[in-house]
Structure 1
Amino acid sequence: MPVINTPQEFNVDDLYVDLQWLSGHPIYLKCEGFNFAGSIKLKAAAEMLATAERAGRLRPGARLVESSSGNMGIAISLIAAARGYRFTCVTDSRCTAAARRLMRALGTEVHVVTEPDPVEGLLGARLAEVRRLRDGPEGHIWLNQYANEGNWLAHFQTTGPEMLKSFPGLDVVFLGAGTTGTLMGCARYLRQAKPSVKVVAIDSVGSVTFGTPASPRSIPGLGAGVRPQILDEDFVDEVVHIAEPETVRTCRRLSARGFVFGGSTGTVVAGAVAWLKANDPDRTATAVAVSPDLGDRYLDTIYSDEWATETYGIDLAASPATRRSAS
């Protein structure tokens, strides 16, 4: 019987969903949302904070600041509440109302940026606000998940080894690219432990992470308006970009089977299905996709017919992807 003292001590690390029904290809979805933060970001938040504590950067009552589209902000909020730190999360208008409410319930001060930087978009504007707070009189401490090695080290130590332990014959892994912490940690571990594994990064259309043009995005999580500093493309074999309407359709297909996942998961699964259809005609590859989050915080967006129609100009409610197949 597990007994814990702090929320970051608990995480389900060996739960997989068999998604062969989705595309005919064997895909095992590693579910990372079963912890008190509801997402994979708890691993990175715990490592970054622990590293800062060991280095003596954090004292009792320290004030933290971080930029987040939601999940990292929630993860830091949990740990900050447990450790007695004050925390300011700088987010933007794409952050779901549920995520903002949860952070505030944990005692976090939430700053919402609404005007994008003319070059670097909403993320650039968020980072400018973070720097202002860091350099201000209150002396906020910025963990900087975009450059902090603890972000990827957490997954080098946990997520990567967990996948290979569960699937020793792993052929290909699909990892979402947001801050690229999960991507870099798993890719670095697999390059060392089993170099034959193909690492496929899944990004959103409109993200600049891998050098593609910027365009507006409405779903928080994956994608970036500023290239993350911790990204090293030498560890990535291929990149698949997924348009947001396909993310929504995939989430709806999963929910039609009773699996309510978040937008990042829908993007990763859509990318995995597309890649396997193009590259695994014999359907023999052992494939794992990492699910970063659950879907309860997206009920007013991805799972809202009105929001989907207003945002993308198409009637996703009428899409066959929202209805369960008889097969």
Structure 2
Amino acid sequence: MMGSSFLRVEQAFERVLRRTPLRRIQMSLRGRAVSFGLKLEECGTARSVKSRTAVGLLSDLHRESPLVPGTVVVESTSGNLGLAMVHLLAGIGCGFLAVVDPKTPQATRRALLEQGARLVVVEEPDEQGGYLSRRLEAVRRILDEHPDYRWPNQYENPANPEAHRISTGPEITEQAGADLGAVYVPVSTGGTLAGIAAHLRAHRPDVRCVAVDVTGSVALGGAGGRRLISGIGAGRRSVFLRGDEYDHAVHVDDAEAIAVCRMVREDLGRTVGGSTGCVLRALLDDVTVGSVAGFPVCLAADGGTKYADTIFSDDWAREQGIHADIGAAVRRWRAAGLTFRVSG
């Protein structure tokens, strides 16, 4: 049984690791045209970069002790990792318990339930106004009550960055080619950035690695605060990032990132998640000051369809008090001539 289960997990690993496309986009800003790459992780098996993370974590969990049918895996998630986990676990007859919070989009919750996951929703925020520490407390309580449940622990397991060192990083460098000049990566657990950075340091040390976080997150250090965009940022510092993995760190304002997401939708007809808005906004800063060298690539961690009731909703933006800020940001960038179009 162990061999059969192991084979199913490994086959799932191979499916998830199919290449996701790198789309070449041309940005026009203040009369200058800049080409960049958008690495579209929504084209992966579970529709986000967390597909790779989930496979790495579950494979590691299985090597530790077989994931036999009936095993229940529990994990704290803001959404994407949970979707990837339930997709993979259902294929090998295992259950999944997702510990989420009020910021998890309703569309994501529905998708988790439809795929067979059970949900525990943590309602009480922590001292910083986020939910991560409360979610982790809930996971530990669940494990105390059910010691046979398994916890991959995406926040501390080295299998998280390793998955991106062996897959995401090599794909980016191969697809972008010799002209690759920089990679902009959103940060939550820090595993994606740490893995990509490890590959770049070993194989393309000339490439600039930019860590992109959202204002109010402490994933890269600093003081915490209110955060509205899910899928990026964290209420505690990443254990995978010491600071020497990346060349530059940027914290992006929620409203600015959402404004970029909306402009991308208008220009390209493509919806992207809030973390992608953050990395594109970070790229805009570098384009503005003329610090972009070579061909930059932005990691688009997921698509935007599940955020229709949040970052693409005017009603939600008004409830959060940022509707006017989003509109002002769009008008400012449009006045500067910002447009996006598919290149080539």
TM-score calculated relative to the size of structure 1 = 0.91
How many Å separate the matches in 2 of 1:33 and 1:268? 15
Partner of 1:255: 265
Compared CA separation, residues 211 and 106, structure 1 to 2 (3 A): same
1:245 pairs with one of 229, 242, 255: 255
Partner of 2:215: 205
Q: Give the SS at the match of 2:180.
A: coil
How many Å separate the matches in 2 of 1:88 and 1:131? 13
Worse-matched range after superposition: 57-66 or 301-310: 57-66
Q: Give the SS at the match of 1:309.
A: helix
Partner of 2:282: 271
How many Å separate the matches in 1 of 2:301 and 2:322? 27
How many Å separate the matches in 2 of 1:224 and 1:184? 15
How many Å separate the matches in 1 of 2:74 and 2:182? 36
Q: Post-superposition shift, 1:104?
A: 0.6
AA aligned opposite 2:246: V
AA aligned opposite 2:244: D
Quick check: 1:107 aligned with 2:116?
Answer: yes
Q: Post-superposition shift, 1:274?
A: 1.3
2:61 pairs with one of 52, 57, 62: 52
Structure 1: tracts of 5 or more residues without a match: none
Q: Give the SS at the match of 2:43.
A: coil
How many Å separate the matches in 2 of 1:163 and 1:85? 32
Quick check: 1:235 aligned with 2:245?
Answer: yes
Q: What is the root-mean-square deviation in Å for CA atoms of aligned residues?
A: 2.3
Q: Post-superposition shift, 1:311?
A: 1.0
Aligned counterparts, 1:156-167, within 5 A: 156-166=165-175, 167=177
Percent identity between the aligned chains? 34
Deviation string, structure 1 residues 128-155 (Cα, Å, up to 9, x no partner) = 0011112223532110001111111111
AA aligned opposite 2:15: E
Quick check: 1:182 aligned with 2:188?
Answer: no
1:9 pairs with one of 5, 15, 21: 15
Structure 2: tracts of 5 or more residues without a match: 1-10
TM-score calculated relative to the size of structure 2 = 0.87
1:300 pairs with one of 280, 293, 309: 309
Q: Post-superposition shift, 1:247?
A: 1.1
AA aligned opposite 2:225: S
Q: Give the SS at the match of 1:36.
A: coil
AA aligned opposite 1:271: A
Q: Post-superposition shift, 1:165?
A: 0.9
Aligned length: 322
Worse-matched range after superposition: 262-271 or 69-78: 262-271
Deviation string, structure 1 residues 272-315 (Cα, Å, up to 9, x no partner) = 221232242xx542111111000000001111111112213433
